[in-house]
């Protein structure tokens, strides 16, 4: 359930110059937020930022032109990373034809993150799915409840410590059919 | 729901969802979609009612001061909810006030299953998500894996992919037209739509071996080359469909019942669509010319000539009309793909990713080893994460894959268009007649396998 | 004066056999489409395959009017209670066809979300294999069910 303290914190060598994308919308955004780290993942713009600055950054991104939230999901880095969860928010700017992905590491002990529903109401279902599958809670969400699983379901299926729940298949003992 | 807001307060409340100041964020002069405000004035509480976020099962009717309201459950076993969608509808007489979609009745755990399957087995999983456009799902997954592998498939594979996915778009839209017609009462449309679809499915069966759930488009190319005589089959489809589409127009366009039941029904605005992340024909019906094939082209689709049909009213009729016009455009793309079909390999010649040709296995020990290794442990994908989106018949279909360097994805997530499009139902159905409910659902064309995954 | 005589077109049979024949020849399936198989079930009922050749085309929206449930698709843990309720609402005699790999055994989705075989929830008479089964497979399943009812192999459940 908790973060794994045995995994050492990855100390990335501090680059002399903060990496920044080509001049444009995303660079303007990053210049407003010192803590946000940008990198390019197979040609796609990715920004890593903390949960405390997520709402502020998202509001600035929306004002800057990312008028649509495409997708909200999460990744469970169980026993892979020190900070267990990572929220993934995909933004889209239709006017500038740009995509931006926000990665927000979230510790398992306080798996809480501000909801983006106030900015993009379309985040509603995506955040409910993340809550349902990972147990990450969204502060300020209008209706945070299970969406795919039954209401009385226990556990969060997409966490890595949740078993697949497969039933062993045994054909050997099957009786012969005439 | 005891709302103590007075009339004055309602007027001063922002009409947008809580938290945003008066149009501050939406005052974006560079968009050309008109004023970035919703068209009518309504309080935040009313908007939240329309979002359906305050409905629950044990709803307190007494608190409403209104004897006329009642909650009706529609589904999950209902013939017009396109599968197992359940709607909680609050009715006031015959008028729908609020709607809450309840989903999850087809949740299959595919994202968990994807973590158990190798990258090569992945398409068998994703193809069963949106079962009306399986090839689009496979394409999206394969493009994501290829992006992580940094490989480019041969030209012939790209052209085959375009040909097959556009045929798939036609067959999917035909089912949408068929069920839309059936739900409103035009039962003939059901028979016609399925009839034409069978022709395309016959071609799919000939090419891929299955009528649905093909597992044809795989990372590295496609599973098999086009069968002998495919040109005649495709040409027959190209020749047959346009006159049949005219028959549909004769059947529906001049039909006062059809027009009366679709025009001005289930209206949504472009601002709402963009705010809720709604894509596909629903977004285009509001007049926004947004198609991922134009905006973020993939598989060489930018070299084909086609138009993006847009509507303007954002109602059921526009969505139906856009589907018909998209079938025409897709037929044009299929024709271009057939005409230019290049020769060459139909899959990547990379023995680490694609299995060797069958004939080589008999001759070469290395080929046998590669074949064995690819089908037992699969190929390893470099660590990384990527998001790739394609334009499925329902909108933006995205695939987010995280690899940790193993042969199986660490995480596979699908951005399902139907899932996000379903959020528009409460908006479309607010203050409309209960009889229009099925027309609205059908025009949205949700596939529950795509919603619940 | 007319003489009373026995009718010339008299047919003799047992009541049981006559009842079985009646049950077989107008079987009304409930629309219980869940997933991919539901599309193939639709295709079976529509043009090209035309299920009405076997007196089965009257897909009923209400389980109260149906006597055959074709479970077409994967049954999730959330759907299973609903499925059982629909089955209980059907009047006797009733039969169940499990269409496709997912409904029969969970198919390729051996995980937490799916019921591994609908026979854990309702009694199944015929299993139709395939993923999804083509219209011909479904028709074969239905014809097999008819033959089994006719021969008395499957007794009506009460």
Largest CA distance in chain B: 85
| pLDDT given for residue B61 in this prediction | 44
DSSP string, B32-46: -SS-SS-SS---HHH
Return the structure tokens found at A107.
């510790």
Sheet strands side by side (includes B69-74): B69-74, B86-92, B95-102, B432-433
What tens digit of pLDDT does each residue of C98-149 get?
Answer: 999 988 888 888 888 888 888 888 999 999 998 889 899 999 998 898 888 8
CB contact under 8 A, C108 and B125: yes
Q: How many CB atoms lie within 10 A of CB A167?
A: 13
CB contact under 8 A, A167 and C106: yes
| pLDDT given for residue B18 in this prediction | 42
Q: Is the pLDDT of residue A10 over 80?
A: no
Chain A: list its partners (3+ Cβ pairs within 8 Å).
Answer: B, C
Tell me how far apart the alpha carbons of residues B51 and A128 are, in angstroms, rounded to a whole number: 14
Mutation target vs B (from C52, C73, C80; most B CBs, 10 A cutoff): C73
Q: Does A163 touch chain C (CB under 8 A)?
A: yes
What's the whole-number mean pLDDT along residues A166-177? Answer: 60
Q: What is the mean pLDDT of chain B?
A: 82
Q: How far is CA B69 from CA A33, B7, B66, B96, B157, in A?
A: 49, 22, 6, 9, 57
Please state, for a pLDDT cut of 90, what percent of chain B lies above it: 38
Q: Where are the beta strands (DSSP E) in chain C?
A: 29-30, 68-72, 95-99, 126-128
What 3-state class would DSSP assign to C78? coil
Chain C residues with beta carbon closer than 8 angstroms to that of B131: 35-36, 39, 132
| pLDDT given for residue B166 in this prediction | 93
CB contact under 8 A, C110 and A169: yes
Q: Is the pLDDT of residue B183 over 70?
A: yes
Chain B residues with beta carbon closer than 8 angstroms to that of C103: none
Q: Which has the higher per-residue pLDDT, B34 or C55?
A: C55
Q: Give the bridge partners for B72, in sequence order.
A: B89
B108-167 residues touching C, CB cutoff 8 A: 108-110, 112-113, 124-125, 128, 131-132
DSSP string, B413-425: EEE-HHHHHGGGH
CB contact under 8 A, B76 and C113: no
| pLDDT given for residue A171 in this prediction | 56
Nearest alpha-carbon partner for B26 in A99, A98, A67:
A67
| pLDDT given for residue B401 in this prediction | 94
Q: Which has the higher per-residue pLDDT, B1 or B101?
A: B101
Q: Give the bridge partners for B135, in sequence order.
A: none
Q: Does A166 touch chain C (CB under 8 A)?
A: yes
| pLDDT given for residue B357 in this prediction | 82
Q: Which has the higher per-residue pLDDT, B392 or A8?
A: B392
Q: Is the pLDDT of residue B323 over 50?
A: yes
| pLDDT given for residue B378 in this prediction | 86
What ipTM was predicted for this assembly?
0.88
Q: Does A150 touch chain C (CB under 8 A)?
A: yes
Mutation target vs B (from A94, A103, A116; most B CBs, 10 A cutoff): A94
| pLDDT given for residue B14 in this prediction | 42
What's the whole-number mean pLDDT along residues B385-410? Answer: 92
Please state, for a pLDDT cut of 70, what percent of chain B lies above it: 84
| pLDDT given for residue A89 in this prediction | 93
| pLDDT given for residue C11 in this prediction | 66
What tens digit of pLDDT does each residue of C23-51 get?
Answer: 888 788 887 888 888 888 888 888 788 88
Q: Does C106 touch chain A (CB under 8 A)?
A: yes
DSSP string, B215-272: --EETTEESSPPPTTHHHHHHHHHHHHHHHHHHHHHHHTT-HHHHHHHTTSS---HHH
Residues in chain A: 178
Prior bond of B272 cis (ω within 30°) = no
| pLDDT given for residue A2 in this prediction | 59
| pLDDT given for residue A173 in this prediction | 52
- Which range is least confidently modeled, A128-137, B62-71, B73-82? B62-71
What tens digit of pLDDT does each residue of C49-102 get?
Answer: 888 887 777 788 888 888 888 898 888 888 888 888 889 888 888 889 999 998
CB contact under 8 A, A70 and B413: no
Helices (H), B291-435: 292-295, 316-340, 358-363, 365-376, 417-421, 425-429
| pLDDT given for residue C7 in this prediction | 63
Asked if residues B278 and B367 have their Cβ atoms less than 8 Å apart, the reply is no
What tens digit of pLDDT does each residue of B247-268 get?
Answer: 888 888 888 888 888 888 888 8
Q: Does B328 touch chain A (CB under 8 A)?
A: no
Chain A residues with beta carbon closer than 8 angstroms to that of B19: 118-119, 140
CA distance B122 to chain C (A): 12
Q: Is the pLDDT of residue B33 over 80?
A: no
What's the whole-number mean pLDDT along residues B409-428? Answer: 91
Q: Which has the higher per-residue pLDDT, B368 or C8?
A: B368
CA distance B224 to chain A (A): 29
Asked if residues B440 and B265 have their Cβ atoms less than 8 Å apart, the reply is yes
Q: Is the pLDDT of residue B26 over 50?
A: no
C116-135 residues touching A, CB cutoff 8 A: 116
What 3-state class would DSSP assign to A72? strand
Q: How many CB atoms lie within 10 A of CB B175?
A: 23
Q: Which has the higher per-residue pLDDT, B14 or B74?
A: B74
Tell me how far apart the alpha carbons of residues C158 and B158 are, in angstroms, rounded to a whole number: 57
The model's confidence at residue B25, banded by pLDDT at 50, 70 and 90, is very low
Q: Is the pLDDT of residue A172 over 70?
A: no
Q: Is the pLDDT of residue B165 over 60?
A: yes
Torsions phi, psi for C96 (to 5 deg): -130, 130
Q: Is the pLDDT of residue B51 over 70?
A: no
Q: Is the pLDDT of residue B34 over 50?
A: no
| pLDDT given for residue B95 in this prediction | 83
The model's confidence at residue A176, banded by pLDDT at 50, 70 and 90, is low
Q: Which has the higher per-residue pLDDT, C12 or B174?
A: B174
């Amino acid at each position: 359930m908790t973060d794994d303290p045995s995994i050492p914190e990855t100390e990335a060598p501090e680059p002399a110059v903060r990496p920044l994308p080509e001049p444009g919308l995303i660079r303007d955004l990053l210049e407003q937020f010192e803590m946000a780290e940008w990198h390019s993942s197979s040609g796609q713009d990715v920004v890593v930022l903390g949960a405390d600055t997520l709402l502020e950054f998202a509001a600035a991104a929306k004002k800057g032109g990312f008028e649509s939230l495409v997708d909200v999901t999460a990744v469970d880095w169980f026993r892979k990373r020190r900070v267990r969860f990572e929220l993934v928010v995909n933004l889209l700017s239709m006017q500038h034809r740009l995509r931006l992905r926000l990665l927000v590491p979230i510790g398992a002990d306080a798996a809480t993150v501000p909801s983006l529903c106030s900015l993009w109401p379309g985040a509603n279902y995506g955040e409910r799915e993340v809550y349902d599958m990972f147990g990450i809670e969204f502060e300020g969400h209008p209706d945070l409840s299970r969406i795919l699983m039954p209401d009385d379901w226990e556990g969060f299926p997409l966490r890595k410590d949740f078993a697949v729940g497969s039933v062993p298949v045994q054909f050997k003992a099957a009786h012969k059919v005439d | 729901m005891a709302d103590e807001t007075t009339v004055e307060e309602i007027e001063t409340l922002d009409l947008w969802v809580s938290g945003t100041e008066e149009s501050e964020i939406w005052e974006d002069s560079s968009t050309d979609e008109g004023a970035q405000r919703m068209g009518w004035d309504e309080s935040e509480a009313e908007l939240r009612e329309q979002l359906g976020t305050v409905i629950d099962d044990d709803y307190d009717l007494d608190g409403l001061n209104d004897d006329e309201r009642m909650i009706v459950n529609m589904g999950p076993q209902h013939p017009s909810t396109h599968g197992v969608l359940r709607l909680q509808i609050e009715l006031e007489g015959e008028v729908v006030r609020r709607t809450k979609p309840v989903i999850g009745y087809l949740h299959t755990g595919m994202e968990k299953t994807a973590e158990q399957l190798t990258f090569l087995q992945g398409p068998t999983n994703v193809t069963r998500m949106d079962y009306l456009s399986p090839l689009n799902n496979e394409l999206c997954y394969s493009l994501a894996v290829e992006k992580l592998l940094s490989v480019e498939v041969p030209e012939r594979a790209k052209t085959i992919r375009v040909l097959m996915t556009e045929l798939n778009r036609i067959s999917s839209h035909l089912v949408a037209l068929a069920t839309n017609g059936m739900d409103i009462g035009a039962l003939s449309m059901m028979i016609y739509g399925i009839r034409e679809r069978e022709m395309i499915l016959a071609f799919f069966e000939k090419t891929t071996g299955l009528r649905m759930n093909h597992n044809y488009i795989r990372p590295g190319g496609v599973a098999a080359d086009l069968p002998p005589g495919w040109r005649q089959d495709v040409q027959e489809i190209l020749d047959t469909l346009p006159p049949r589409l005219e028959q549909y127009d004769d059947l529906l366009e001049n039909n006062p019942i059809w027009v009366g039941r679709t025009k001005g029904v289930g209206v949504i605005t472009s601002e709402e669509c963009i705010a809720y992340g709604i894509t596909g024909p629903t977004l285009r019906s509001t007049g926004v010319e947004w198609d991922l094939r134009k905006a973020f082209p993939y598989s060489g689709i930018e070299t084909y000539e086609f138009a993006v049909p847009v509507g303007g009213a954002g109602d059921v009729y526009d969505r139906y009309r856009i589907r018909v016009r998209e079938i025409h455009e897709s037929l044009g793309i299929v024709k271009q793909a057939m005409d230019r079909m290049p020769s060459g390999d139909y899959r990547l010649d990379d023995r680490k990713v694609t299995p060797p040709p069958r004939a080589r296995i008999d001759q070469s020990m290395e080929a046998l080893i590669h074949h064995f290794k690819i089908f037992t442990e699969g190929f390893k994908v470099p660590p990384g994460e990527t998001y790739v989106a394609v334009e499925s018949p329902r909108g933006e279909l995205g695939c987010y894959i995280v690899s940790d360097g193993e042969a199986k994805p660490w995480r596979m997530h699908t951005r399902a268009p139907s899932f996000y499009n379903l959020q528009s139902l409460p908006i479309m159905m607010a203050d409309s007649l209960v009889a229009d409910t099925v027309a609205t659902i059908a025009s949205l064309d949700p596939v529950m396998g795509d919603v619940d995954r | 004066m007319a003489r009373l005589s026995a009718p010339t077109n008299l047919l003799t049979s047992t009541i049981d056999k006559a009842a079985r024949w009646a049950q077989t020849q107008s079987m009304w399936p409930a629309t219980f489409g869940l997933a991919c198989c539901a599309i193939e079930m639709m295709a079976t009922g529509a043009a090209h395959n035309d299920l009405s050749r076997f007196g089965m085309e009257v897909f009923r929206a209400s389980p109260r009017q149906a006597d055959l449930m074709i479970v077409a698709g994967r049954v999730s843990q959330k759907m299973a209670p609903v499925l059982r309720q629909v089955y209980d609402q059907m009047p006797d005699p009733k039969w169940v066809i499990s269409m496709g790999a997912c409904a029969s055994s969970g198919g390729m989705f051996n995980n937490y979300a799916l019921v591994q075989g609908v026979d854990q929830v309702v009694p199944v008479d015929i299993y139709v294999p395939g993923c999804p089964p083509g219209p011909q497979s479904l028709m074969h399943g239905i014809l097999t069910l008819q033959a089994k009812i006719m021969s008395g192999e499957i007794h009506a459940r009460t």
